[in-house]
Structure 1
Amino acid sequence: MTVTQHESPTVVADDGVRLWAARSGSGDPLVLCHGGPGLWDYFEDVAGMLGDLATVVRWDQRGCGRSERCAGPWTSERFVADLDAVRRHFGLDRMALLGHSWGAQLALSHALAHPERVSSLVYVSGTGIGPDSDWFGTFRENLLARLGERPERLARWRELTGRPHLSEGEERERAVLQWSADYPDRERALEHAGRLADPWLGINTECSRALNDERRRNWGTPGLYDACTSLDVPVLIVDGERDPRPRSAVDSLERALPRVRRATLPEAGHAPWVEDPKGFREAVAAALRPRG
């Protein structure tokens, strides 16, 4: 498959909700799943980085970013169905999936539901399949420690976090401050986080709250672990060693998967393609390379 220019087709889910999508590059298909939940696709740089390796499909998840605003439903099952609608729209029998953060959970959920439709899975900066207690407390401590390196930033973040209502500008400011903790390069952390927020498309907080609540109820179960032990799909786990979310949380997923490799980038944080683009590209290229 070869695509010579960027496209922005509209994907229609099976319940009629319209989803924004874009396709670029050439080669076998790779579908990207952005994080959040409640955010939008921020993978333009990644699509450019991988465009000579794959035909890259990006999309905004239901009710988020450039996709149609709707009333949900906000469930993993619904989002898996939406991802499969993206696959069908582009006429893909099988696809490689790359998911980041919450998107890694979504991509894994799709692979578990439809393993025959997934050629490989690249699981980037996820938090594993255990309960939130495996990682959230440490993440919170690391978040506060990194923001606390600049006390005025921590104070401003706490001020904004404590307000019941924020303007659009304040919402963006709070998000950029929080996202800056994801980057170990502290001198450029605000710059990197600001790029993620440009353009600012607004966080769907209802979506975020519902899907995070669902994860807290359903993740960390023996049934999920058992399902992962039967997943006959090659998986690459990509970690930034300096991600404030403890990488040990992902050990549970690595133990469960029968066909798994892991690439840890020592100088990278939660968005490893930003701080180690060469290492990230090499890791993904290896995952996409056909095996003899």
Structure 2
Amino acid sequence: MTSTGRGTADATTVLTDDGVRLWAARSGHGDQPLVLCHGGPGLWDMFGGLADSLADLATLIRWDQRGCGRSERCAGPWTTERFVADLDAVRRHFGLERTALLGHSWGARLALSYTLAHPERVSALVYVAGTGIGPNRDWWPGYRANLAARLAEHPARAARFAELDARDDLTDEELRESAALQWSADFADRDRALEHARALTDPWFGINGACNRALGAETERLRGTPQLHAACAALDVPVLIVDGARDIRPRTAVDSLERALPRVRRVTFEDAGHLPWVEEPAGFRAAVAGLTGGNGGTGAPILGA
């Protein structure tokens, strides 16, 4: 998942090297570029509100990953390598020699993968609510248990979600309802959780299940390897890790990534869940604005103060 808000942006079409058309948009007027990578896999950019809040700090580039959202429906391929190449196509389309990246959830993994592949093209990485570089067992069982527990706080919602989740013949509107119910568990503010979650489904583009399943299986194979750990340990790019302490994905899963990175700072918001910029907007903006490193080693903020 990603964010609430739609934002005002100039939309365009990015053509990948294998001929797939991607939706992308540019907004903001800051001096530095910042490319946003949405969550999923299989979802779409929901960063409009975040882009609005950062508009004076950076020129924001948003995009829908292949086969998702407003991008062209296609048959994949659904691999991290392919998505890294797509992200590079977005970079080239907007004429960016070097850019900061912000990725959320699955998008954090994608942004990290791109940074490892092309460190010379990345000025800084903001890694938001990811799940680290260890094996899935570090977080997946805890996530499933926490999801069930948080949904159970509202028995009617839990019952309705269970009813929908058990069926394989859902209408598009029921799929949308099921997503909102599940995503409501991602917010710490339980009074506004369903409101926030429903905002994520407006507009609704549907979830690309094939994309989600394929990239999920690939993640299971690639995480926790010595090669990934070594690549992170050698990464000479400043990284900001941002967490919500009440994310139902155990935050301890990110500890291995934090330990591996040589240039890292971590900010945790105690009263936020999986989307910390929604529940802690001022603090999130301040954290991103104060990201330091690079710039010839001066330690000056990359996105401004």
Counterpart check, 1:198 vs 2:198: no
Tell me whether 1:21 sits opposite 2:35 in the alignment.
Answer: no
Give yes or no for contact 2:238–2:292 (8 Å, CA) kept in 1.
Answer: no
Corresponding residue of 1:78:
82
Tell me which amino acid in the other structure corresponds to 1:153: R
Partner of 2:12: 9
- Following superposition of structure 1 onto structure 2, how do residues 40-189 of structure 1 map, counting pairs within 5 Å? 40-189=44-193
- Does residue 225 (structure 1) correspond to residue 216 (structure 2)? The answer is no
Contact 2:27 2:55 in 1 (8 A): yes
Contact (CA 8 Å) 1:41, 1:59: kept in 2 or not? yes
Map 1:280-291 → 2, pairs under 5 A: 280-287=284-291, 291=299
1:166 deviates by 1.2
Gaps of 5+ in 2: 1-7, 301-305
In structure 2, give the amino acid aligned to 1:34.
Answer: H
TM-score normalised to the size of structure 2?
Answer: 0.93
Q: Does 1:212 align with 2:216?
A: yes
- Per the normalisation by structure 1, the TM-score is 0.97
* Offset of residue 288 of structure 1: 6.2
Q: Which runs of 5+ in 1 are unaligned?
A: none
RMSD: 1.0
Match of 1:234 among 238, 242, 245: 238
CA distance in 2, matches of 1:287, 1:92: 20
Letter in 1 for 2:289: A
Q: Give the conservation status (yes or no) of the 8 Å contact 2:39–2:104.
A: yes
Asked if 1:37 corresponds to 2:36, the answer is: no
Distance 1:288 1:196 in 2: 30
Count, aligned residues: 288
Identity of aligned residues (%): 69
What amino acid is aligned across from residue 230 of structure 1 in structure 2? A
SS at match of 1:181: helix
Query: What displacement does 1:6 show?
Result: 2.8
User: Cα distance, 1:158 vs. partner?
Assistant: 1.1
Cα distance in structure 2, aligned partners of 1:9 and 1:284:
26
Is the contact made by 1:98 and 1:123 (CA closer than 8 Å) also made in structure 2? Answer: yes
Q: Is the 8 A contact 1:239 1:263 kept in 2?
A: yes
CA deviations 1:192-229 (Å, max 9, x no partner) are 00001100010000000000010011111111101100
SS in 1 for 2:103: strand
Q: Give me the whole-angstrom Cα distance separating, in 2, the residues matched to 1:37 and 1:18.
A: 18
Q: Secondary structure, in 3 states, of the residue corresponding to 2:230?
A: helix
Runs of 4+ with deviation above 2 angstroms: 288-292
Q: For each residue in 1:35-55, what CA deviation from the matched residue of structure 2 results, as whole angstroms up to 9, or x when unmatched?
A: 000000000000000000000
CA shift for structure 1 position 283: 0.4
For residue 161 of structure 1, report the CA deviation from its aligned partner. 1.0
1:232-291 Cα deviation digits (max 9, x unpaired): 100000001110111100001001001000000111110001110001000000116852
Q: CA offsets, 1:29-79, max 9 Å, x none?
A: 000000000000000000000000000000000000000000000000000
**1:19 maps to amino acid:** L
